[in-house]
Chains A and B, each alone.
Chain A
């Protein structure tokens, strides 16, 4: 019994306890930058969810025209000014958060599982034919800069938000496969994996119950940082006209619309640009914080 207690204390038997989460949170909350990132992300998510209730002119989000109030500079009635159709830019920016977040969430939910599973398989069966096939295909997908491949795929589809999400999903999985592959192929040499193999644990058990939990920290970090990346990609696609189409209040579309009125009517462009920067900053700070927590645990 004593030995069992001892093992529990060492965290061997039940590796995750509330205390561990408390410790992780303590570590995370020590860094003001990580907390700032978390706060930014939470605020953006809440604004996006409550957009119809918190924005001053919710009916300005989609198609709406009021030329009498077009191109108004920032004022108390319109904190971020109005655009070329007289729509409130603040309202549209907050609705824009919705599209960015929906895009990030959808893509990462679609892409992470297959990417991770392929990486686990290739890593566990390192140097067998299946590793060769998976990793060589992954190499082909990363042979061009991600933005270029996403643009190319989008261009042959009808331009809209859904297809933009599909296009980014189609080319994003190899990054997860490569990440997990690297970890899985070194983990499989560890004594605890070999012990499991000797006991006769199934391949499925070893991949998903032994290797995967050890990769979760890195995967979670990557998901957080990738949320920023996907939002950048999405806004870039709609910026060139291959993603969400006007009048959808997507931040990228707003940027490209505004760019036409640039020197004088600067507020149509600058506020969406700042909004993109804020979301990306939030996810980056949060991601760095998550990484620090898991890095500390690994040591």
Chain B
């Protein structure tokens, strides 16, 4: 099967890019002006404390040696000690990452569940009032950044209407389910704790929807235009004149080619989701990796910053590989080109 060789190539390239990324971010963190150890402590910290931190971060070694140490530690499962939590950065990230993944997963569910039907609807009713309303909303969604939505949601739904909680993953007093996957919604379902599940969902709605709005708008626009394009194609006319039921034409023949551009763009939109998660998590006090990352950045916690960037790059790369595989499954032409190469 060609897909496996393709996947192997992609994964190999991803490893190369991630190593490159680690060199980039590692070098930037150390080469840019300013003494990281001094900045991490405080301007008035005693000289011996700064010197001890420099030793600990191996800042006195030449840069390539520092990097090799870091790489060796990374492969043996350590990303260095975090200055904020005084634990290994990898331990911190494994603790906080599930919360971020849960948030991203729900944003993606919202995204797929809304963008595609809305885009299909607007495309089928192109240039009617339905289409115009969708276009207007799509423009708002594309132009307003997620953190502004997050603040507006916080005000409108959290404080004025009070229909959804705005802080953290669970209400105070609600016991978190035993940790299986780390995703509270899934864990609570596995353990059959339905009230915790509902509570977790209610906490997820506002932040994940604030994250999803931009991608929803973007993808609805793209789905619309490809639906309009495909509706004018001969094969659709042929299937209509053959008297095929409308449902079948839409679900089977129109949707598949129309979704290819949407799903390709989704790969890029995942980047925006992951980026905005850094702000949205801070706004909603969501105890995820991104909020941990922001705290680390404000505290100049070098090891944690490098670790968070690397894990973000890894998640992004995996998401993009999945998107590419889905696209190649939907579009036989892409597989043909790969085979021809």
Q: Which residues of B contact A144 (CB under 8 A)?
A: 21, 309, 312-313, 316
B151 CB-CB contact with A under 8 Å: yes
Complex-state Cα separation, A140 to B16, whole angstroms? 9
User: Out of A139, A152, A273, A284, which one reaches B297, CB within 8 Å?
Assistant: A152
Interface residues of B, CB < 8 Å — how many?
Answer: 51
Complex-state Cα separation, A281 to B141, whole angstroms? 10
Complex-state Cα separation, A140 to B23, whole angstroms? 10
Minimal beta-carbon separation of B312 from chain A (angstroms): 5
Main secondary structure of the interface of A (DSSP, over half): helix
Complex-state Cα separation, A236 to B282, whole angstroms? 12
Q: Which residues of A contact B24 (CB under 8 A)?
A: 140-141
Minimal beta-carbon separation of B305 from chain A (angstroms): 6
User: Out of B16, B18, B145, B278, which one reaches A276, CB within 8 Å?
Assistant: B145
Q: Which residues of A contact B142 (CB under 8 A)?
A: 284
B294, A269: Cβ atoms closer than 8 Å: no
Interface segment, one of B3-11, B172-180, B183-191, B269-277: B269-277
Q: Which residues of B contact A141 (CB under 8 A)?
A: 24
B34, A259: Cβ atoms closer than 8 Å: no
Given A136-B20, A153-B28, A273-B151: A148 touches B312 (CB 8 Å cut-off): yes
Minimal beta-carbon separation of A136 from chain B (angstroms): 7
Give the interface residue-count category, chain A. 35 or more
B143 CB-CB contact with A under 8 Å: yes
Given A143-B18, A263-B155: A240 touches B34 (CB 8 Å cut-off): no
List residues 149-193 of chain B with CB under 8 A from any CB of chain A.
Answer: 151-152, 154-155, 159-160
Chain B, residues 280-291, CB within 8 Å of chain A (1/0): the string is 001100000000
Closest chain A residue, CB of each to CB of B19? A140
Complex-state Cα separation, A141 to B159, whole angstroms? 40
Given A153-B32, A239-B279, A240-B282: A140 touches B145 (CB 8 Å cut-off): no
B216 CB-CB contact with A under 8 Å: no
Closest chain A residue, CB of each to CB of B299? A155
Complex-state Cα separation, A266 to B153, whole angstroms? 12
Complex-state Cα separation, A147 to B272, whole angstroms? 8
Chain A, residues 172-197, CB within 8 Å of chain B (1/0): the string is 00000000000000000000000000
A148, B298: Cβ atoms closer than 8 Å: no
List residues 239-288 of chain A with CB under 8 A from any CB of chain B.
Answer: 239-242, 255, 259, 262-263, 266, 269-270, 273, 276-277, 280-281, 284
